[in-house]
Structure 1
Amino acid sequence: MRQILAAAAGLTVLAMSACSVPTPPRAAAVSTPPAGTATLPAPTGAHPVGTTVLYLTDASRPDPWNLDAKARELKVTMWYPTKQRDGQRAAYMAPKESELLLKGTKIAIAPYDTLSKTRTNSIKDAEPTERKLPLVVLSPGFTKPMSTLTSLAEDLASRGYVVAGIDHTYESYATTLPGGRVAECLACDSNSDPGFGAGLVQVRAADVSFVLDQLPAKWKGSRRFDRSRIAMVGQSIGGSSAMATMLKDLRVRAGIDMDGTAYARIPKSGFSRPFMFLGSAQHVSGGPAPTWDRDWKLLTGWKRWIVLTGTEHQSFTDTPLLADALGIKPTAGVLPAARAAELTRTYVAAFLDQHLKSQRQPLLDKPSSRYPEAKFCPCAPS
């Protein structure tokens, strides 16, 4: 799994300026962060965002990575629209999570608690709105906690989606479990094994199906999402897991793979549900491109393959937005963090609006002068 290791190591070489996107009207009333504190860009939608954390235990299967665990424990972070505009902002991650992530990715130039001080835009345990909304499942890259996709999650929630972000236990450098227990990356010991990627996406597919089974009973806001309108979006191995999940679970109507090698094999008969590849230039010149090209031919329904020029593997995560706080210096030729985040948010939201809200999005039909960095794969419809 050299490719997965390279993806994890990419955190150390990214270099993007941290800045912000426009602030929506009537932002939540919160205290001013201390000087030097990193802050995620404000969501672009009309709704304030609430968040809460759930802990779920799947007693029907042992943990695939921890041989001493007879059940699979998962941490699920929910983001959702709320009417509440003030309250305590949720933490980006716990101090121990920040420490283990920065140690694991070899970023020693920032204090280890830096990410635990990062400011989010979500109000902790706010009351969800009463409306039934589409549900989006998010899955992060290998070795990364779910919090590294917080900016995208908050933006989707502000646009009228319920988001369920899954921390796949023992697959990231740190996951905090009930009682303050911290699960470290046991899967990292196996990532050079043959077939590791293919096996890992099946573990994640099972995680997602279990979460979808459990949410109606385990989350008090479950009546606020529409179980007939579910999509999945992931980055890196999380994106690979979107297709693996959709092949196993018909409840997931649409999916996006953000810069992830495709490990799940689509049957020769094809796959007809909407799917989008959204990636960096590596997916044209090399890298995981062969697997996308293979799968593209088997996608028989609505499909798009969009490359964002000037992006790198971590451009689809929060890492570039926090680069200044982490002490990561800019790299020539890489898009500024705010622009990469804007492009990711825009194209992900457009896909979801079209396929979960039945709102046609001309942006997905052809290149846009407003977003010239977005290049449609030559084999995609124009």
Structure 2
Amino acid sequence: MKIIQVGLGAWGASWLNVIHHSKSWELAGVVDVNPDAARAAGEQYGIPAYATIDEALGHKDTFDAALVIVPPEYHAAVAIPALEAGVHTLIEKPLAHSLEDGIRIITAAEKSGKQAMVSQNYRFKRAARTVQRLIRDGVIGDLEHVFIDYKKNPPFEGFRLEMDEPLIVDAMIHHLDQLRGIVGVEPTAVRARSWNTSTSRFKGNASAVVQFDCDNGARVVYTGSWSSYGPQTSWDGDWEIQGSKGTITWKNNEVTINFASLFDTVFLAGAVERSGVMHVDLDPLPVEERLGTLEAFRDAIETGNKAETDVTDNIQSLQLVMATADSARQDGAPITLKTNAELFGSH
């Protein structure tokens, strides 16, 4: 299948290479308001370069889909025209800059009948899929609480440095989407506090502590920072997922289980016991990360089935991030999450 890419900033430039290495997609054009960036990418890959999405859509018979890699505040302005033109659309997380824009994108997708998916690449990793399987198989019983710890000091430039709540909006979207998609719980309420440190490179708050209540009764505590000069976690963060039968620890791309009962530590398929701790082999995947999102996007188009990160599902991940940011702005005031029916009924 053929795809055009809209947006050629730092992250967009790395996407070009991802598409180039995909076995399912061929880059058919690039779009960027910076004529030099568009021209350079077009010349590098021998493809057309356009200044606007409207210009590119004038040649929509030459591609099957569009990849949206512009800053979040412009997602709707690119995705909606593409969908209205009958083009399948893959959008870099987050879905949109606001719930209102997210709902507008969903409405456009439903009217067009085309696939609209959000690239949540953290779901498409071996460790994440292994954790997902263990939870679904009931290995640790009923989920009771989750602790997530995330610490980085990323060398970002550009729009992230100017964001109001950069950690919550740009980083937590990954972890909260994993909470929903990998752990399998739906938060129903959130309380958040955020702040900045003297060494932070960000204008907005780059540290936060958050508590979530979930639909199954589980509680989640998240601590995170984008201005950490101490030991760093992986981009996934460190996870401790406790159930009625044991605890999964997911850290540095390794998965271990501590069972509550000594009698459960004897055997687990695909795991090795060391000193009472089960070390779990990671489930194989044909491709990971962004290549995984591209494969899922292709599968959705070919089968007609909605992808797991389809916009109609991902609006809940976006709502969760927005509610967390709102709670932080209100100094930790509790905020109740809405169902999709409630979200669309209020707009």
**TM-score, normalised by the number of residues in structure 1:** 0.29
- Judging by fraction of residues, say which structure has more strand: 2
Bigger Rg, structure 1 or 2:
2
